[in-house]
Amino acid sequence: MDDITPAPLFTNDGIVFSLLMVVLGLIFFTSQLQNKFWKTFYKYIPALLLCYFLPAILNSLGIISEHWDEVQPDGTVEEKSSQLYYFASRFLLPASLVLLTLSIDLKAIANLGWKALVMFFIGTLGIVIGGPIAILIVSLISPETLAGAGPDAIWRGLSTLAGSWIGGGANQAAMLEIFEYNDDKYGAMVLVDIVVANVWMAILLFGIGQSKAIDRWLKADNSAIEDLKKRVQDYEKLVSRKSTLADVMSILAIGFTGVLLGHWLSGIISEVLVSNFEVFSDKSSALSSFSSEFFWLITIATAFGIILSFTKFKRYEGVGASKFGSVFIYILVATIGMKMDLTTVTENPGLLAIGFIWMTIHALMLIFAAKVIKAPYFFMAVGSQANVGGAASAPVVASAFHPSLTSVGVLLAVFGYAVGTYAAIACTILMEIASN
């Protein structure tokens, strides 16, 4: 019974969602206050970071949680979970992508240039070589951490982290299938994934508050980014008018039409691929990631928003379409935060050490590359999160800079899906060599 995860104070999703909304409301209320304390506080701590961090504190205090165990009257243990993250990632995220890309300027995004792609692929390379280097370092300090052979070999388990941090959940599952890691020990790898990836996301969000100073240090030219933001702001002013109830309902209808199409078509596409092409149904295949319904959900919702940006629907930006998209994004961030239990940071110190060293190498390579090519912090943060966080969090980080930049995060995350399994396989081969 020692392995039972205790239930939090609140297990009812209605209560938990309401609590998260209260937390979000307080954050944004205080962020608008003009007294010296709050202005100074939010100058250094972005509101988005608090939207993530405060739910994590509530989780750590046992007030809310995403997963827990419940002992039944017959003595059996039943796993319970909140559905809020699932709801936010599968319904609110695609709706937000539609609304945030509604006023997209593809020409301006193209003008962002080659640096965005370079930073993304440097981030990927950082994951590929970071794993084996982390293994070599930990082997010198704590060789017992790397103990295990056959299905228990640590490098097999770490392959799932490589898949997750370059692509996403589908790539992670593919790595588990390809390298056949012991399922009973897989939970420890999931813990490392959650802790390290979420700590890194928190650091990136903190850096957004210092992005201007970071850009000065990098000597970065972010004129293209500022031009994109200005274009969107100018267009919003041009079409801006007082919104009506009909406008609000229309905006919601537009967003959730994208959700409807995304869920409907993603299921059809996934079923066609799996049923007719063995390469997509075989989880050990590098192409199996493209049979993921979530991948197609995000892709279709984004494409729908981009298509609408060429129509009169684009004018709904004038009555706040992107603001509704931002609301959905912040709710998603809060549900991501409630997945993070800060008290688990000290568990599995050896594996966590590998994870943090690995992520540090990834970060250092991005910083070095950004300094060399004078890429702005935006490209560094979004390029990293498109790898480590994927389609669920790359748009979050991008939108924290400006709602008009959300689509950049989505497009880079799609690259992550595309190269995830291939790059993760290369990383795993190097980790196997480093372990021997």
d(CA 314, CA 323): 14
Q: Is residue 19 part of a domain?
A: no
d(CA 394, CA 100): 13
DSSP 8-state assignment for residue 90 = I
Q: Is residue 81 part of a domain?
A: no
pLDDT tens by residue, the chain, 436 residues: 456 788 899 999 999 999 999 999 999 999 889 888 998 888 777 777 788 789 989 988 999 998 888 888 877 888 888 999 889 888 998 898 888 778 776 666 666 678 888 888 898 899 999 989 998 898 888 777 777 677 778 888 888 888 888 866 656 666 766 677 776 676 677 778 878 887 888 888 888 878 888 888 988 877 777 777 777 667 767 777 888 999 999 999 999 999 999 999 999 998 888 888 876 766 555 456 567 788 788 788 888 988 898 899 988 988 888 889 888 888 987 887 888 777 766 666 788 888 899 999 999 999 999 999 888 888 888 888 888 876 667 777 887 777 767 777 777 776 776 676 678 888 888 888 887 7
Q: Is residue 41 part of a domain?
A: no
Asked if residues 434 and 132 have their Cβ atoms less than 8 Å apart, the reply is yes
Q: Is residue 39 part of a domain?
A: no
Work out how many domains the chain is built from and give that number: 1
Closest CA to 58 of 100, 16, 107: 16
Q: If you search the block for the tokens 């370092």, which residue do you land on?
A: 137
d(CA 390, CA 409): 9
Taking the complete model, does pTM exceed 0.85, yes or no? no
Q: Is residue 47 part of a domain?
A: no
Q: Is residue 4 part of a domain?
A: no
Residue ranges making up the domain that contains 126: 87-435
Q: List % helix, strand, coil for the chain (3-state, nearest 5).
A: 80, 0, 20
d(CA 307, CA 383): 24
